[in-house]
């Protein structure tokens, strides 16, 4: 399946692909891209059903991995370093398991290669109950999300996808497609596969997305792994502690370039 993802590329050098999480877009990892672009060709993507990429009725990790490989073909890249946050972390991990010959290394930010229990029902309920007929402006949309139990930081993040349409408002993300695909997004179908290339998992020590009970799954599927924690950071570690996060990622990528250590 050839998929024309929306993407932006900056810098030159070895290829790095940055993949955002659920409800996000290619701007989420922009500061990391700016850190890396001096030494790498960095491509930020909109995942299908997000930003300006195509809308899919259903999305799963096999097809999402295939879409990344199609992007590499389009870029003329034999292989790339893949970096993803949350759902984007699962996308890059899946790509490494399914297409190891196309992956130079992989970085997963605050996600483990395991199935998760549902945790976004409140967000979906708040988003689907928001009127889009023009009767609610951006400020009222924020109040609507807050009144339905969405925290302020998440609400502000979600409203980056809220835009004026020809009549009323719309979401840039394909909400119906995300809801239909949600069980697959929180799931993980690869328990018996393994990737033996360089791998880095970075977690926020205040987040419950990556815990001690996930270590066996990580080591089984990604045996050549480094595990790092960022103190004082939660799930949005790249936004909460950007300088530390960006340095960890760049040091990991640079460590694979022998010309920097000779």
Using pLDDT thresholds of 50, 70 and 90, give the confidence band for residue 1: very low
Structural domain includes residue 151: yes
**What is the tens place of the pLDDT at every residue in 198-250?**
999 999 999 999 999 999 999 999 999 999 999 999 999 999 999 999 999 99
Q: On the CB side of 82, how many CA atoms lie within 13 Å of its CA?
A: 30
Structurally, how many domains does the chain consist of? 2
Which of 86, 105, 181, 207 is the catalytic position?
86
Q: Which neighbouring-strand residues pair with 163?
A: 170
Q: Are residues 50 and 79 in the same domain?
A: yes
A 10 A CB-CB count for 75 gives 15
pLDDT of residue 3: 61
Structural domain includes residue 174: yes
Which of 20, 50, 85, 235 is the catalytic position?
235
pLDDT of residue 257: 80
Structural domain includes residue 2: no
Q: Are residues 128 and 94 in the same domain?
A: no
pLDDT at 262 over 60: no
261 catalytic? Reply is no
Mean model confidence pLDDT for the chain: 94
Q: Are residues 56 and 129 in the same domain?
A: no
Structural domain includes residue 131: yes
Q: Are residues 83 and 168 in the same domain?
A: no
Q: Are residues 221 and 97 in the same domain?
A: yes
Contacts of 49 (CB under 8 A, 6+ apart): 55, 56, 59, 173, 174, 177, 178, 181
Q: Are residues 94 and 203 in the same domain?
A: yes
Q: Are residues 28 and 125 in the same domain?
A: no
Domain finish residue from 147, 163, 180: 180
Structural domain includes residue 203: yes
Are 84 and 108 in contact by the 8 Å Cβ rule? The answer is yes
User: What average pLDDT score do residues 28-35 get?
Assistant: 97
pLDDT at 261 over 80: no
Using pLDDT thresholds of 50, 70 and 90, give the confidence band for residue 260: low
Residue-number span of the structural domain to which 60 is assigned: 7-116+187-260
Q: Are residues 64 and 108 in the same domain?
A: yes
pLDDT of residue 134: 82
Using pLDDT thresholds of 50, 70 and 90, give the confidence band for residue 137: confident
The model's pTM is: 0.95
**What is the tens place of the pLDDT at every residue in 84-112?**
999 999 999 999 999 999 999 999 999 99
pLDDT at 2 over 50: no
Structural domain includes residue 53: yes
Contacts of 97 (CB under 8 A, 6+ apart): 190, 193, 194, 195, 221
Structural domain includes residue 219: yes
86 catalytic? Reply is yes
Q: Are residues 72 and 161 in the same domain?
A: no
pLDDT of residue 259: 66
Assign 89 to helix, strand or coil: helix
Structural domain includes residue 1: no
Assign 92 to helix, strand or coil: helix
Specify the DSSP element, H or E, that contains 226: strand 225-230
Domain finish residue from 141, 156, 180: 180
Using pLDDT thresholds of 50, 70 and 90, give the confidence band for residue 141: very high
Nearest to 25 by CA among 203, 172, 209, 187: 172
**What is the pairing mode between strands 7-10 and 40-45?**
antiparallel
**What is the tens place of the pLDDT at every residue in 69-88?**
999 999 999 999 999 999 99
Domain finish residue from 164, 180, 196: 180
pLDDT of residue 133: 86
Q: Are residues 29 and 90 in the same domain?
A: yes
Q: Are residues 227 and 104 in the same domain?
A: yes
Q: Are residues 170 and 46 in the same domain?
A: no
């Amino acid at each position: 399946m050839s998929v024309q993802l929306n993407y932006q590329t900056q810098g030159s050098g070895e290829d790095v692909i940055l993949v955002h999480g659920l409800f996000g877009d290619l701007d989420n990892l922009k500061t990391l891209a700016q850190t890396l672009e001096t030494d790498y060709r960095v491509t930020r993507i909109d995942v299908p059903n997000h930003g300006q990429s195509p809308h899919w009725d259903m999305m799963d990790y096999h097809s999402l991995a295939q879409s990344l490989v199609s992007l590499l073909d389009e870029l003329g890249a034999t292989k790339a370093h893949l970096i993803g946050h949350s759902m984007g972390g699962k996308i890059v991990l899946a790509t490494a398991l399914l297409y190891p010959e196309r992956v130079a290394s992989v970085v997963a930010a605050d996600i483990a290669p395991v199935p998760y229990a549902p945790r976004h029902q409140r967000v979906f309920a708040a988003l689907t109950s928001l009127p889009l007929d023009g009767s609610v402006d951006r400020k009222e949309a924020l109040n609507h999300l807050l009144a339905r139990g969405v925290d302020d930081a998440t609400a502000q993040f979600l409203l980056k996808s809220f835009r004026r349409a020809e009549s009323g408002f719309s979401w840039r993300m394909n909400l119906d497609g995300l809801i239909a695909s949600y069980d697959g997004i929180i799931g993980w179908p690869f328990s018996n596969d393994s990737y033996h290339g360089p791998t880095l998992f970075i977690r926020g020590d205040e987040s419950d997305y990556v815990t001690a009970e996930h270590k066996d799954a990580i080591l089984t599927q990604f045996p050549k792994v480094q595990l790092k924690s960022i103190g004082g950071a939660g799930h949005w570690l790249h936004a909460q502690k950007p300088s530390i996060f960006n340095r960890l990622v760049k040091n990991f990528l640079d460590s694979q370039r022998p010309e920097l250590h000779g």
